């Protein structure tokens, strides 16, 4: 492929002018917001120095070798970007412009939420504008097109057409996976169902089990099998292997027939009902419980409702990447304010003119993907469409694309009273299922897990639950993100986790005195859970009970329903 000629000084001026235009557009975006002129002048001066150095290198000056080195940014790390003068300078210029625009966004004088929104908007624009995302500017994609005599472009168009049919960008080879065949395969049976969930009981893998059973409450915004992907990385199977009698809620994927379900419905007919059924099947007065993400919020709410009624069925509570205090919600806060919540209430909530509707699962999935657009959107646009490469099979990303709907009234209540108003942590502020809610009345021992790089539930927000809940608490921090941090099998001995028996007021103080331990956090949790699980008894020989007979084998029908 012939290399274009080295850019002229006119091109340097054009580059500076183009960036000036971009800066002008940025200023329009933040109209009415104070952007200090001294900060802007400093950014402009830095930019001129950097762009001068960059173009001098491109024109053969002393910095030439620096300009043509492979970049550390993985989008431009291929040697193809460094070998061609035009693409090398394009990548370098793009990264310089991106840095400057983001510094400008950070220099805006405004309240924290406004600054976060501006930075998020600029980041989205910057990521979308990468030259790697466009066929004509991507030397890797162009080289592949030449090498394959255009076959890669034909394959890319075919992938694009298939994804248009699916309604989303494919992140994995979805044809490889099937729920119940090679994901969600731990042996069990559905022993109860209602309009909102099926209850799965799993077959014991040990001769004896603890007499206090275990109930998992997964997030209703995703399907439960994130906890049961493959046998080697299944939290459910691991828990069964540790001699626990395990039950898991499998939430229904809502359709229009249950679009009017409320938060109260999800509490009463969700975990409260599940707890009662587990108690009836096992004969146990108290059970161990676990909630993941919003499942933890739902579980905690249910236990607080029961506590207000004088009932305390939980022998222990495990909360994985869960928020109860929504003061710091991270990047998700950019989407939440009074007008946006009010709009939801008027379109899909109980006040909707055409009746309650559904929050579509694909809308949620797209929102979460654009929290990390380079990794979860543009990476696949480049690979799938520009290079014509099919994404490799990956069970976690298959689950990530298997989206679920939510009833509008339930979702609107959740938005208003957690992310917007942060009412949940306030004692007796909310009434749920006819009871004044006080999470402090939940006295069971609690294991709180957070992931250090979590962009959905910041670890410091998860740590804030230690101030809301009043029973004995253990907090453990794992490496990685919202999902990969949780799904970290003990046998693989990957990553690390931090422990600290003390719980100071500030999360940063906890971390500063915490001890880092190699490997998964699972064994730490398993040891803690065993201390609350009671004596060991003979494992049951069959599923369910006379009152709750087997309905169908796991994983059941509900998890297979598509949004």
Instruction: Output the DSSP codes for 136-176.
Output: GG-HHHHHHHHHTTTHHHHHHHHHHHHHHHHTS---S-GGG
Active-site position among 220, 293, 412, 433: 293
Closest by alpha carbon to 288, among 298, 308, 274?
274
Say if residue 81 is in the same domain as residue 222.
Answer: no
Say if residue 125 is in the same domain as residue 16.
Answer: yes
Quote the tokens at residue 54.
Answer: 């960059």
Say if residue 114 is in the same domain as residue 204.
Answer: no
Q: Which one of 103, 138, 173 terminates a domain?
A: 138
What's the pLDDT score for residue 111?
A: 85
46: buried, middle or exposed (CB in 10 Å: 19+, 13-18, 0-12)?
A: middle
Q: For this structure, is 412 an active site residue?
A: no
Confidence of residue 419 (pLDDT cuts 50, 70, 90): very high
**Does the pLDDT value for residue 9 go beyond 50?**
no
Q: 13-70 pLDDT, tens per residue?
A: 455 445 545 554 554 454 456 677 777 778 878 888 888 887 777 666 444 555 556 6
Say if residue 467 is in the same domain as residue 535.
Answer: yes
In a domain? residue 281: yes
Residue with tokens 């941090």: 485
Closest by alpha carbon to 310, among 438, 149, 176?
438
204 within 8 A of 240, measured Cβ to Cβ: yes
Say if residue 125 is in the same domain as residue 243.
Answer: no
What's the pLDDT score for residue 60?
A: 62
In a domain? residue 179: no
Q: Cα(81)–Cα(56) distance, rounded to whole angstroms?
A: 18
Say if residue 224 is in the same domain as residue 131.
Answer: no
Say if residue 318 is in the same domain as residue 456.
Answer: yes
Quote the tokens at residue 167.
Answer: 């309604």
In a domain? residue 158: no
Say if residue 201 is in the same domain as residue 112.
Answer: no
Q: 437-470 pLDDT, tens per residue?
A: 999 999 999 999 999 999 999 999 999 999 999 9
Q: Which one of 138, 171, 204 terminates a domain?
A: 138
220: buried, middle or exposed (CB in 10 Å: 19+, 13-18, 0-12)?
A: buried
Confidence of residue 105 (pLDDT cuts 50, 70, 90): confident
* Cα torsion 502, 508, 512, 516: sign: positive
In a domain? residue 129: yes
What's the pLDDT score for residue 84?
A: 83
What's the pLDDT score for residue 59?
A: 65
Q: Cα(556)–Cα(191) distance, rounded to whole angstroms?
A: 10
**Does the pLDDT value for residue 231 go beyond 80?**
yes
In a domain? residue 466: yes
Average pLDDT over residues 245-255: 97
108 within 8 A of 30, measured Cβ to Cβ: yes
The structural domain count of the chain equals 2
Starting at the earlier edge strand, list the strands of the sheet with 552-553. Answer: 515-518, 496-499, 473-478, 446-451, 314-320, 287-292, 214-217, 246-251, 197-202, 188-193, 552-553
134: Cα within 13 Å, side-chain hemisphere = 10
Say if residue 211 is in the same domain as residue 130.
Answer: no
Q: Above pLDDT 90, what percent of the chain?
A: 75
What's the pLDDT score for residue 386?
A: 97
In a domain? residue 248: yes
What's the pLDDT score for residue 246?
A: 98
CB atoms within 10 A of CB 369: 18
At 27 the three-state DSSP class reads helix
Confidence of residue 110 (pLDDT cuts 50, 70, 90): confident
Closest by alpha carbon to 245, among 183, 303, 288?
288
Crossing angle of the two packed helices 9-29 and 112-128, in degrees rounded to 10: 140
Q: Which residue range is the domain that position 64 belongs to?
A: 9-138
Residues 6+ apart with CB under 8 A from 92: 54, 67, 71
Q: Which one of 80, 109, 138 terminates a domain?
A: 138
What is the DSSP code (8-state) at residue 33?
Answer: S
CB atoms within 10 A of CB 363: 14
Quote the tokens at residue 6.
Answer: 């080295």
At 243 the three-state DSSP class reads coil
102 within 8 A of 21, measured Cβ to Cβ: no
Closest by alpha carbon to 75, among 58, 63, 87?
87
Say if residue 314 is in the same domain as residue 441.
Answer: yes
Say if residue 128 is in the same domain as residue 204.
Answer: no
Q: 254-264 pLDDT, tens per residue?
A: 999 999 999 99
R_g over Cα of the chain: 26
Q: 308-342 pLDDT, tens per residue?
A: 999 999 999 999 999 999 999 988 999 999 999 99
470-497 burial, b for 16+ CB within 10 Å, e for fewer?
Answer: eeebbbbbbbbbbbbbbbbbeeeeebbb
Say if residue 201 is in the same domain as residue 57.
Answer: no
Quote the tokens at residue 74.
Answer: 């993985």
What is the DSSP code (8-state) at residue 334?
Answer: G
Q: 169-228 pLDDT, tens per residue?
A: 999 999 999 999 999 999 999 999 999 999 999 999 999 999 999 999 999 999 999 999
**Does the pLDDT value for residue 5 go beyond 60?**
no
Crossing angle of the two packed helices 151-166 and 139-147, in degrees rounded to 10: 120
Confidence of residue 75 (pLDDT cuts 50, 70, 90): very high
Instruction: Output the DSSP codes for 458-478.
Output: -HHHHHTHHHH--S-EEEEEE
307 within 8 A of 449, measured Cβ to Cβ: no
The CATH number covering residue 292 comes to: 3.40.50.1820
Q: Cα(297)–Cα(448) distance, rounded to whole angstroms?
A: 12
Quote the tokens at residue 489.
Answer: 């099998």
Closest by alpha carbon to 399, among 531, 306, 292, 496?
292
At 9 the three-state DSSP class reads helix
**292 backbone φψ class: left, alpha, beta (φ>0; ψ -120 to 50):** beta
Q: Cα(520)–Cα(353) distance, rounded to whole angstroms?
A: 50
112: Cα within 13 Å, side-chain hemisphere = 6
Q: Cα(82)–Cα(87) distance, rounded to whole angstroms?
A: 7
Torsion angle (degrees, nearest 10) of CA 542, 275, 272, 323: -120
What is the DSSP code (8-state) at residue 497?
Answer: E
Dump strand ranges (E) for 147-272.
Answer: 188-193, 197-202, 208-210, 214-217, 246-251
In a domain? residue 280: yes
In a domain? residue 362: no
Residue with tokens 């206090």: 212
């Amino acid at each position: 492929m012939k290399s274009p000629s080295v850019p002229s000084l006119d091109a340097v001026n054009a580059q500076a002018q183009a960036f000036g235009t971009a800066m002008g557009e940025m200023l329009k975006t933040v109209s009415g917001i104070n952007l200090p002129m001294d900060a802007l002048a400093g950014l402009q001066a830095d930019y001129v120095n950097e762009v001068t150095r960059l173009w001098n290198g491109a024109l053969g000056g002393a910095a030439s070798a620096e300009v043509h080195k492979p970049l550390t940014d993985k989008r431009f790390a291929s040697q193809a970007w460094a070998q061609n003068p035009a693409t090398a300078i394009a990548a370098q210029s793009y990264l310089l412009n991106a840095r400057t625009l983001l510094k400008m966004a950070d220099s805006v004088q405004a309240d924290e939420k406004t600054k976060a929104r501006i930075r998020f908007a600029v980041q989205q624009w910057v990521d979308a504008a990468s030259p790697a995302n466009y066929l004509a500017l991507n030397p890797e994609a162009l080289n592949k097109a030449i090498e394959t005599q255009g076959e890669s472009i034909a394959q890319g168009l075919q992938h694009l057409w298939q994804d248009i049919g699916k309604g989303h960008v494919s992140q994995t080879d979805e044809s490889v996976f099937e729920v119940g065949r090679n994901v969600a395969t731990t042996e069990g049976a559905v022993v109860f169902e209602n309009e909102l969930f099926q209850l799965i009981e799993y077959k014991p893998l040990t001769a004896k089990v603890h007499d206090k059973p275990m109930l998992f409450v997964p997030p209703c915004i995703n399907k439960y099998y994130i906890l049961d992907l493959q046998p080697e990385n299944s939290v459910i199977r691991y828990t069964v292997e540790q001699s626990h009698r395990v039950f898991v809620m499998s939430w229904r994927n809502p359709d229009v027939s249950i679009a009017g379900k409320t938060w109260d419905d999800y509490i009463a007919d969700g975990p409260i009902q599940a707890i009662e059924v587990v108690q009836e099947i096992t004969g146990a007065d108290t059970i161990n419980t676990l909630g993941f993400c919003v499942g933890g919020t739902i579980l905690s709410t249910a236990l607080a409702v029961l506590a207000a009624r004088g009932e305390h069925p939980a022998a222990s509570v495990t909360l994985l990447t869960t928020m109860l205090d929504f003061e710091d919600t991270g990047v998700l806060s950019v989407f939440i304010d009074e007008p946006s919540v009010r709009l939801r209430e008027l379109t899909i909530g109980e006040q909707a003119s055409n009746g309650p509707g559904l929050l579509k699962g694909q809308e949620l999935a797209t929102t979460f993907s654009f929290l990390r657009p380079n990794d979860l959107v543009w990476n696949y646009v480049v690979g799938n469409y520009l290079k014509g490469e099919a994404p490799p099979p990956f069970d976690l990303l298959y689950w990530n694309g298997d989206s679920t709907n939510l009833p509008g009234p339930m979702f609107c209540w959740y938005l208003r009273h957690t992310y917007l108003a942060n009412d949940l942590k306030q004692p007796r502020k909310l009434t749920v299922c006819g009871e004044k809610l006080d999470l402090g009345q939940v006295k069971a021992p609690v294991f709180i897990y957070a992931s250090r790089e979590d962009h959905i539930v910041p670890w410091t927000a998860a740590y804030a639950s230690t101030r809301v809940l009043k029973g004995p608490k253990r907090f453990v921090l794992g490496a990685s993100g919202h999902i990969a941090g949780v799904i970290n099998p003990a046998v693989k001995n990957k990553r690390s986790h931090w422990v600290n028996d003390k719980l100071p007021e500030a999360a940063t103080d906890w971390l500063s005195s915490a001890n880092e331990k190699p490997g998964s956090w699972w064994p730490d949790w398993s040891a803690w859970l065993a201390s609350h699980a009671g004596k060991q008894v003979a494992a049951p020989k069959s599923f369910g009970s006379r009152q709750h007979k087997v309905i169908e084998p796991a994983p059941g029908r509900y998890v297979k329903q598509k949004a």
